[in-house]
């Protein structure tokens, strides 16, 4: 990774000129109005992320089918039983951990657009191969390989979006990205409801659901042709003229849609960004040490609460006495509420502090999860499931926008990949933890674990997270 300069005056005249040019690029982006062209770029990136969310969430909905096919069991006698459903969940997050921890730095080196395309193609190919496997170990292996691509993609999209949009719409942009991405959840739930209990053409229903996710490869190149490289990243890499050309084309479109001359960049723009290459050790030095530790703790615990419910909805419902067919139907109703969290986020994300949104969402998950564990009626299970889902999606909107704001452009993908990898590591083991809690303590035990995790989340962000609302990226990162 990278490092801030000890003394900006040590930079050469050329570096100072490039750094000043990068600051001007950033200021020009931050003064753009939110017109159709900017929203179109955000939408195109969201489409790539749609398939990544499809992949993240089909774990919950193909789980009952994997058990029904005899390939997996719901629980295992040993904690690390690799023939249990927990192992399938763990393989998913092991791949996500490897992708986020080891490879997201490639987006800082080779560019956002290149890694966006490469990771989407990687995921699609691995998912297609996984759908054809006939044993639990082989499925786990290819699930892990696919997870690597998803891990790279999600961090790259977050980084990409934060750099494409002006500061006054970052919250809404992330909410919109999640609005599009979360429509993948009811889609996968509906497909699972149709296919998992059946075997069309002699092909297990869960395989059809998985194979559909591989279609992301078909749109990868189409998106690549229409979305430019991040002008912020280009300028940071010293490619100022190329960044200026990319931004000029966007400004021309925006001005035409805006109907009048664009406002001048703010004269009090943030200081020119450093061109010094980052070092990993910098994350453990001021001003980033506190942010790094805060986000590591946050990600370690938020994944238990978020994926502990989202990845186990049908299985938890079955444990409450609901049949597999009705479990998938109820799960679809719960999943259909996923886009409404980001829709609410679009209305409030730029009105309140990001950290406040995170804390309130975690609180909602803890309260509604505790009530869910006490219910037996189908209506209340679905209602509380919807409320937990709304809390989870708002939490996701808040922290995905928040963590990319806390680090500079030159190391944003690398730093976010590192702290975000803790959520993947946590989620990998949470599959075993949830399975063990379900086996020994039932659904109340599962939600006791989730509530405890959400309390830590609220404390970490609420007490130690900095404020970011409507501030320039370079100002926050300094």
Spans of the chain, pLDDT less than 70: 1-18, 73-84, 267-278, 310-331, 431
Separation in Å, CA 293 to CA 114, 200, 361, 394: 30, 49, 21, 23
Coil, strand or helix at 352: coil
What φ, ψ does residue 475 adopt, rounded to 5°? -65, -45
- What integer pLDDT is reported at residue 316 of this predicted model? 67
Residue 311, helix vs strand vs coil: coil
Complete domains list, the chain, with CATH: 10-260+278-477 (1.20.1250.20)
- pLDDT for 5 equals 40
Is the CA virtual torsion 116, 121, 124, 127 positive or negative? negative
Q: What is the pLDDT of residues 126-162, one digit of tens each?
A: 999 999 998 888 999 999 999 999 999 989 999 999 9
Query: pTM value?
Result: 0.84
pLDDT at 279: 75
Using CA atoms, how far residue 132 sits from 124, 126, 143, 214, in Å, is 13, 10, 12, 12
Q: Which residue bears the tokens 């050309």?
A: 245
Residue 385 has a pLDDT of 84
Which pLDDT value is given to residue 353?
94
State the burial class of residue 13 (Cβ atoms within 10 Å of its Cβ: 0-12, 13-18, 19+). exposed
Q: What is the pLDDT of residue 134?
A: 87
């Amino acid at each position: 990774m990278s490092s801030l300069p000890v003394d900006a005056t040590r930079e050469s005249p050329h570096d100072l000129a490039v750094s000043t040019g990068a600051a001007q690029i950033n200021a020009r982006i931050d003064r753009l109005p939110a017109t159709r062209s900017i929203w179109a770029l955000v939408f195109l990136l969201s489409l790539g992320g749609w398939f990544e969310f499809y992949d993240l969430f089909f774990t919950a909905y193909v789980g009952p089918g994997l058990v029904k096919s005899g390939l997996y069991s719901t629980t295992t006698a040993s904690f690390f039983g690799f023939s249990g459903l927990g192992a399938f969940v763990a393989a998913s997050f092991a791949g996500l951990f490897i992708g986020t921890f080891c490879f997201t730095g490639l987006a800082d080196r080779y560019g956002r657009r290149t890694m966006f395309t490469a990771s989407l193609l990687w995921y699609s190919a691995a998912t297609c191969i996984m759908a054809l496997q006939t044993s639990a170990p082989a499925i786990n292996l290819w699930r892990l390989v696919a997870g690597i691509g998803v891990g790279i993609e999600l961090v790259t999209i977050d980084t990409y979006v934060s750099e494409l949009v002006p500061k006054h719409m970052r919250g809404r942009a992330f909410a919109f990205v999640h609005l599009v991405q979360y429509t993948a959840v009811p889609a996968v739930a509906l497909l699972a409801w149709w296919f998992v209990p059946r075997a069309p053409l002699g092909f297990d229903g869960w395989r059809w659901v998985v194979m559909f996710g591989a279609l992301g490869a078909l749109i990868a190149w189409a998106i690549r042709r229409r979305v430019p490289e991040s002008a912020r990243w280009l300028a940071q890499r010293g490619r100022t003229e190329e960044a200026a050309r990319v931004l000029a084309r966007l400004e021309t479109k925006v001005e035409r849609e805006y109907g009048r001359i664009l406002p001048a960049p703010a004269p009090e723009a943030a200081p020119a960004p450093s061109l010094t290459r980052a070092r990993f050790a910098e994350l453990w030095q001021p001003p980033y040490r506190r942010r790094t530790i805060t986000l590591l703790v946050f990600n370690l615990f938020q994944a238990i609460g978020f994926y502990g419910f989202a990845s186990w909805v049908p299985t938890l419902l079955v444990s409450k006495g609901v049949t597999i067919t009705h479990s998938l139907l109820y799960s679809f109703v719960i999943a259909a509420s996923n886009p409404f969290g980001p829709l609410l986020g679009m209305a409030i994300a730029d009105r309140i502090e990001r950290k406040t949104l995170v804390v309130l969402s975690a609180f909602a998950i803890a309260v509604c999860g505790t009530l869910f564990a006490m219910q037996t009626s189908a209506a209340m299970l679905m209602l509380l499931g919807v409320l937990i889902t709304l809390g989870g999606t708002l939490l996701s909107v808040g922290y995905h926008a928040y963590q990319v704001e806390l680090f500079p452009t030159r190391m944003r993908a690398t730093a976010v990949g590192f702290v975000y990898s803790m959520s993947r590591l946590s989620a990998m083991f949470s599959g075993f933890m949830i399975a063990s809690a379900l086996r020994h303590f039932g659904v109340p035990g599962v939600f006791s674990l989730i509530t405890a995790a959400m309390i830590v989340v609220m404390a970490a962000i609420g007490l130690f997270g900095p404020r970011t609302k409507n501030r320039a990226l370079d100002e926050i990162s300094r």
